[in-house]
Amino acid sequence: MAVNLLEMVKEGLPPSFASMAGGLLGESGAATGNALGALLPAIIAGVAHKGATEGGAQSVLSMLNNPALDTSLLGRLGSIFGAGGTQANAMMNAGSMLATSIFGDKVGNLSSALASVAGLANPKSAQSLVALAVPIVLTFVKRSVASAGMTAGGLASLLGAQGTLLQGALDSRLTGALGYPDPASMLATVTGKAANATHVTADRVAAAGTPAAAATAGAEDNGRSAFARWWPWLVVAIIVLYVLSRCMNAQKAPEPAPAPSPVAAPVPAAAPAPAATAPAVPTALPAKIYFASGATTLSPDSQATVDAVAALVKADGGKVDITGYADATGDAAANAEIAKNRARAVRDALVAAGVAEANLNLAPPASFTGTGGDAEARRVEVSKAK
């Protein structure tokens, strides 16, 4: 069953969120609540429109690496309004850029329409509310991605499913401000992108007429891929080789598949070290969770390790330290951020597996390179708290 992001966000917001946000913005709690009710479906539709293809989902994954999207806040969103709203204001600063990444130059139109729809006293309050709500929605998406260990393809499927789940939830005045004649048109772009990302329509196959064109149509996403452009030449090369082999030895049947041996040979040599991709399931702490180069999301193998670690931590009942590491390749500051994001991903996955967040401590990396080779360095260690 598809995850309903709108219901997830609504259930995750504390009951007093609208009144606290209204107090920060100088608006009534009722008007702010009305504004959030109209705004949240529009934000989710905007994110889904951007990420419903695998290429677009990769862009959304990059957005989710923003440090302002801290999943540890989701259980205590009301706390961001404390200390004069310092944390909420910092979130809005990041949210302004994230909103532009999602809606482009339509952010102003969306804010103006939102102020009118909700009856906000100050039009600028609507723009601030957009900047506050966008990172909150993206943080819920980030938690879902981390807990399920989603790749770009998995995220595209999740976002593509929102087109159906949002039916009846969008306000036509907001979708009009975003450039769509009605809500159905906006949702159609989401479901349409998701469908085109997974299969070729019958019309395109019929129009293609040839195997080469059909392959090109299936690989097309905003223009032909490099493989599709070279496919006709590969077909010609195969035909030429076949004709030459018949001419050289008319009595000998052509080899049906001359390429398997040379293609298959490099595969075992290129396989990564077993310790990095298929770690043994831990039976005691400390435990290590490995990541691919540059990655901050859990692979299926790593998720299995996290599930085993979660069982150990829950059985022990004590607190644990979570320490992230990165290899020595590239910029040291970027590696430090990667190490922290890996630790956060493991923490979020442990919380999703039922470990109490109060028992999880994010420890600063003791060393960015760890021990051994680069594959060993790309890890997160979970150990009993000191």
Identify the pLDDT of residue 202: 38
Q: How big is the chain by its Cα radius of gyration, in Å?
A: 25
Identify the pLDDT of residue 242: 74
Residues 160 and 309 in one domain: no
Single residue among 271, 290, 308 that ends a domain in this structure: 271
Identify the pLDDT of residue 209: 44
Encoded tokens for 256 = 């049906």
Residues 244 and 134 in one domain: no
Name the residue with tokens 């723009």.
Answer: 127
Residues 164 and 210 in one domain: no
Q: If we measure between CA atoms, which residue out of 337, 336, 358, 355 comes closest to residue 346?
A: 355
| The 320-324 sheet, strands edge to edge | 287-290, 379-384, 320-324, 360-363
Helix (H, G, I), strand (E, B) or coil at 363: strand
Residues 39 and 148 in one domain: yes
Residues 241 and 342 in one domain: no
Q: If we measure between CA atoms, which residue out of 117, 119, 140, 108 comes closest to residue 22?
A: 119
Residues 207 and 101 in one domain: no
Counted domains in the chain: 3
Please give the residue range of the domain that contains residue 135: 5-198
Residues 242 and 293 in one domain: no
Identify the pLDDT of residue 375: 79
| CATH code (residue 338) | 3.30.1330.60
Single residue among 214, 249, 271 that ends a domain in this structure: 271
Residues 116 and 221 in one domain: no
Instruction: For residue 24, give every residue at least 6 positions away whose Cβ sits within 8 Å of its Cβ, in sequence order, or none.
Output: 81, 85, 88
Q: What is the pTM of this model?
A: 0.54
Residues 13 and 144 in one domain: yes
Residues 265 and 280 in one domain: no
Residues 127 and 182 in one domain: yes
Single residue among 240, 271, 302 that ends a domain in this structure: 271
- CA dihedral sign of residues 198, 201, 204, 210: positive
How far apart, in Å, do the first and last CA atoms of the chain sit?
41
Cβ-contact 346, 298 below 8 angstroms:
yes
- Would you give the DSSP letter of residue 385? -
The type of residue at 384 is: K
* Each residue's pLDDT expressed in tens, for the chain with a length of 386 residues: 689 999 999 999 999 999 999 999 999 999 999 999 999 999 999 999 999 888 889 999 999 999 999 999 998 999 999 988 999 999 999 999 999 999 999 999 999 999 999 999 998 999 999 999 999 999 999 999 999 999 999 999 999 999 999 999 999 999 999 999 999 999 998 877 766 655 433 343 344 344 443 333 343 444 444 554 566 667 667 876 776 767 665 544 445 555 544 444 444 444 444 444 445 678 899 999 998 888 889 888 888 899 999 999 999 889 999 998 888 777 888 888 888 989 999 999 999 889 999 999 998 875 555 455 677 888 999 999 98
Residues 211 and 281 in one domain: no
**Gap between the Cα atoms of 289 and 278, Å rounded:** 10
